[in-house]
Every structure is written in C-alpha cells, then in structure tokens.
Amino acid sequence: MRIRLIALACAVALAACDNASPSPAETNETPLPPPAIPDVSNPGIDCEPEDAEAFIGKTVSEETGKAIQAATGAEQLQWVLEGQPVNDDYRPNRVRVIYDASGAILVVRCG
C-alpha cells in the first residue's frame, strides 16, 4: 500500500513539472502579432544649430530662449548651468543652452 502511495505521489509530482504549453491551435486562440516598433527616424522638427552661435555671450532670459528656439527650429529648450550634470540622451528636436553663473550663454547646441 505504501509503495502505491509513493508511486502515485511521484506521478503527480512529475505531472506538475510538465512545462509543455498548448499550441494556439489547441487553445483556439490566435497568437498576438509582434509589437509595433515606432518610427523614430524623424520625431518632429529637428534642431538646426547654424544660427545658434549668434546667441553666445547673450544673457539668459525667457525672450532669449524663445529666440533661440525660433532660430534653431527646436521644439524643446533645455537650460543647463555650466558644470551641471546632464543625461546623454540625444533628442534631435531639442536645443541645449549652457550658461555660466553670471547668466551669460556659453554654448548652444542641438541634441
């Protein structure tokens, strides 16, 4: 009797370890399509840095920021104090303005 119980327990344990999943045909479910990959080749208006050099040396202000965005065509503006850490993500529609403690613009670059 004990041997039968042990054999039955082993059979149940082995059956629980069966990892085979039913195929979609067996479950009458259609498989999900692969996820769509977004097109990031042109996420918006790209920043054009050619006219940005004219702002080097100017003072940081809201008006200057709007003028920099208008000149570069950037959708996003990021003010960065010199020495402040920034992330390395590249965004073609962003203009990054680096300024010093006195508020003078040192660098204007896209990305």
CA distances from 53 to 3, 38, 50, 58, 106 (A): 87, 33, 7, 10, 9
Q: How far is Cα 55 from Cα 92, in angstroms, rounded to an integer?
A: 19
| 111, pLDDT greater than 70 | yes
Q: Which residue has the higher pLDDT, 105 or 43?
A: 105
pLDDT digit string (tens) for 47-94?
A: 887 878 899 999 999 999 999 999 998 899 999 999 999 888 888 889
CB-CB contact of 75 with 95 (8 Å):
no
Task: Using the predicted structure, report yes or no on whether residue 20 has a pLDDT greater than 90.
Answer: no
Range 49-110 classified under CATH 3.40.50.2000: no
Rounded to whole angstroms, the Cα distance separating 75 from 96 reads 11
Query: Where are the domains positioned within the chain?
Result: 49-110
The model's pTM is 0.58
Residues 6 or more apart whose Cβ sits within 8 Å of residue 58:
64, 104, 105
